[in-house]
Structure 1
Amino acid sequence: MTDSTAAGPTGIAYSPEIDGLRALAVTCVLIGHLYWLEFPLTGAGVRLFFCISGYLITHILLSAHARGASTGQILQAFWTRRVLRIFPPYYLALGIALALDAYAIRDTAWWHLTFTTNILLALQGEWEPVITGHLWSLAVEEQFYLLWPVTLLFALRRRNPHMAGLLCAGLIAGAVAWNLALSEAHHAREPGLGLLLMGQLDALGAGALLAWVEARGRLGRWWIVPVLALIVIGLMLSVGLGAILPALAVKGLNGPLTCLAFAGLILFARHGPRGVATPLLGNRLIVWLGRRSYGIYLYHIYIANTLLDADEAAPGWTTLLLCGGVTIVAAALSWRYLEQPLLQWRTHFPYVAPRGVAPGLQAV
């Protein structure tokens, strides 16, 4: 594991506390899917993942650009490294499901193979096939990875120091406008049009905006005030206490406020006092889970529907402990024997050409 104080080729220091946030996010998802279907923070866990992705990806792109890397080299390195990170576990799990034709998955195979599951779910308005419903969020991320680097790097070439920041803020504004424009019928239907990339840009944009502000050196010791305020507001809205502020709920501000709270959590993880942030988010167990959170998220639905009869299984402690335990073991094996070995190849695709020294492993 890269030392937390050492910066990689893009100038990004590895932060174990970010992995701690990933562990928190995937725990919310496991509880919601395996223990309590009405758990109010299930969706928040997914959107915390989005916010972290927006932050890290934008940070990488801004850092590589600031160090003089060409647009072509940045895009080549970025997309190649994303393929090495995302594709192998994804297509392994999906390939097994397709080989078994579990839940008639072959009927919708091309949607999942092309990372467009979110579009399928939005069009059909139901979580079918059940073992692929969770892939919608990975589809959103891959679509963001495809479009955002090109858009951001083009903005950076305009030589307007504020263009990138306006673009990041525009992601949030666009998502708010999109979600407000959806009809009540679409809001009531789950899944619906909110699963499309446009509907999730507030979470991705909040992370991206934080990365831009950080890159501009605008973060000072004042960070504690907005962090605490945003965390309190976001958690209130996340757990359903938005009824206390019905005007906010009607105006569709629940989502963006929650995402800003997530940005506050990232800010705390990266820049908060080490004596507080590290024990909470950087302890060994939490970081261990966070490093394997992708596998945990990816495999848990497949495993739950393999071990249990979907018509008879009920969420609860038994389901959580059995399926969650097997999932963590599977994710650990995947990390050790599939993901980590392939990630070694990232050293061959640096964002910035090394000057006589081979680049080290990236933190992301």
Structure 2
Amino acid sequence: MNGKNNLTIKRYMPGIDGLRAISVLAVIAYHFDFKWAQGGLLGVGIFFVLSGYLITDQILLEWKMHKNIFLWNFWIRRLRRLLPAMISMLMFVALWLIVTDPTRLLSLSGDFISSVFYVNNWYLIFHNVSYFDSFGPPSPIGHLWSLSIEEQFYLVWPVVLLLAIRFAPRRGRLMVYIAVLASISATAMAVMYEPGTDPSRVYYGTDTRAFAIFIGAALAVGWPSWKLNRRISPTARTLLDCVGGLGLLILLILIYRTNEYDDSLYRFGFLYLSIISAIVISVLAQPASRLAKLLGCKPLAWIGKRSYSLYIWHYPVITLMHPTGNERLNILQIMIQLIITFILSILSYTWIEEPIRKVGVKAQLRFIRSHHWFKPAIIFTFTLLALFRVESWITNETKVRSESVQPVIVQEVTSNNQQELNTDNTEEIPAPVPMVKGEGITVIGDSLALNVASVLEEKLPGIVVDGKVGRQMSQAQSVIEDLRAKDKLGDRIVIALGTNGAFNQSSLSSLLDSLQGEKKIYLVTTRVPKNWQNTVNEALKDVTREYPNVKIIDWYAASENKNDLFYHDGVHLTPEGAQFYASVLVEHIQEDQG
């Protein structure tokens, strides 16, 4: 027997494909920024557990049959399964950028190279690329970090497992060893994570995410699919289904409610997710399970089989069709992008992944060069271009209608020359206020503070504005201490942070506790077309209720439907926008002075 024969007896588990479907749909929903899937990033964590289980299960079956692990055959199978589809996607993205934005392609060269060699996650870590707080156009291949972790596991784990089996042949001892590795990895995430800061280092790291894969691997040692059979008692079957159903419900609740900035997520929250995932997988692997039959229904199984294709194609479609990432998509735009994603995924699965997996690269290339390939390719190309054109037309039409319904005319108003604004076709700005002295007022902010500094200094002579590009709330305390040491901290402090990323409420509370002796603190809500916008604003409003000297300046509400105040990134202000922003701040400060 050769090393490939073990695959012929491996049992197909449709319920596992159903879980794959749920996981990839959660990730797609998360990247579409659906409110009901704010925890959709957890789908990647579920995939890690699945990979750990299925790969270890396959390796152990091979060892059971042959008393050996054919490493080279294993690695070739993995590469044939994963690499061709990813290379095809990378080529598509590269060609698209060559035509539309060659400068951007050059800036992403490191991302492309690191993805091909499956070290993208470490490339992102060493170049300080944030998964959560990144500003500007999102990378169309920014999701490949997770594939790098999986491929690193595929490269190293068979060797480690082969050695472990030789030195610890008993399953119980082997499970303990794997559990220890998982504990070390989970502890590393909890220890390395710093509350209130960008969690990208622990989110990307192989060392801090490996516990999910190890938990799946430990499950495969103790609950191998090839040892399970249908002959279990009705009571055991019902118990399994109840446990699995409860676990699945918990996973869905986590996907619905989890926030990517919750400290608890990085302090063993991902570990909890992995354990629940392993419990669900153990039930779905049992052939007698009714839950496995339910999740193995044809629609979910169909999506699950193509989950890898859907994962690698959905994010390029989303980012390339909306390169700035600032527009909130309407339902028709989302449907068009989903259709394109599924078309590309089906083609990838049908013409690249499955044929290459079964017959190899050379044989499939010969088939593609035959006449059978050209007709589907032509139909697909024209369909894809038509869908892109339709989606682009919808976007432009929506923008034109929005601007025609509510044009933005912002006029600077001074105390000597007040102009009446027609509310039918212009935007209202705060009423002009008498000149207010700025002594004793300090503004601490990010690039927006720099954006409006000159306007504020004109309107509030003597004000101190301390702004810095990229500043986050976690840095505010040190800024305050520095200003206090230089005797530049006023007794009325405006804190305008949150544009560059979320923060936890405990760090904000600590900051406000240190300012209890000040006369007045103003917290400015943010408007940023990123998924942390609502998290920031809710945290600001929740904390404000606990401090009588703290007041909210609601920039988010004041700037609603005033798109012409912003440049194309939807955050930074035009000259008119800077005037408007400053007027909002001055109005609130003047109310308290009066």
- Counterparts in 2 of 1:235 and 1:308: CA distance versus 1, 3 Å: closer
Classify the secondary structure of the residue corresponding to 1:136: helix
In the alignment, structure 1 segments of 5+ residues that lack a partner are: 1-6, 347-364
- Counterparts in 2 of 1:155 and 1:218: CA distance versus 1, 3 Å: farther
Letter in 2 for 1:214: W
How far apart, CA to CA, are the structure 1 residues paired with 2:357 and 2:182? 32
- How big is the shift at 1:200? 1.4
CA contact (8 A) 1:59 1:211 kept: yes
The partner residue of 1:172 within 179, 182, 196 is 182
1:1-364 aligned within 5 A? 9=7, 11-36=9-34, 39-71=37-69, 74-99=70-95, 100=98, 101=102, 102-103=104-105, 104-123=107-126, 124-127=128-131, 130-161=139-170, 162-184=172-194, 188-215=197-224, 221=236, 223-224=240-241, 227=244, 230-231=247-248, 239-240=256-257, 249=264, 252-271=267-286, 273-278=288-293, 280-345=294-359
- How big is the shift at 1:198? 1.5
Aligned CA-pair RMSD: 3.0
Q: How many residues align?
A: 332
Which segment drifts farther, 305-314 or 110-119?
305-314
Matched-pair identity in %? 25
How far apart, CA to CA, are the structure 2 residues paired with 1:265 and 1:166? 21
Letter in 1 for 2:186: V
CA contact (8 A) 2:244 2:291 kept: no
| Greater length-normalized contact order (CA 8 Å, ≥ 6 residues apart) | 1
- How big is the shift at 1:62? 0.8
Match in the other structure for 1:358: none
CA contact (8 A) 1:31 1:320 kept: no
- Counterparts in 2 of 1:11 and 1:326: CA distance versus 1, 3 Å: same
CA contact (8 A) 1:35 1:317 kept: no
TM-score (norm 1): 0.81
Which segment drifts farther, 152-161 or 210-219?
210-219
- Counterparts in 2 of 1:170 and 1:250: CA distance versus 1, 3 Å: same
Q: Flag the structure with larger Rg.
A: 2
TM-score (norm 2): 0.51
- Counterparts in 2 of 1:132 and 1:88: CA distance versus 1, 3 Å: same
How far apart, CA to CA, are the structure 2 residues paired with 1:35 and 1:87? 28
How far apart, CA to CA, are the structure 2 residues paired with 1:285 and 1:173? 36
CA contact (8 A) 1:210 1:263 kept: yes
- How big is the shift at 1:249? 3.2
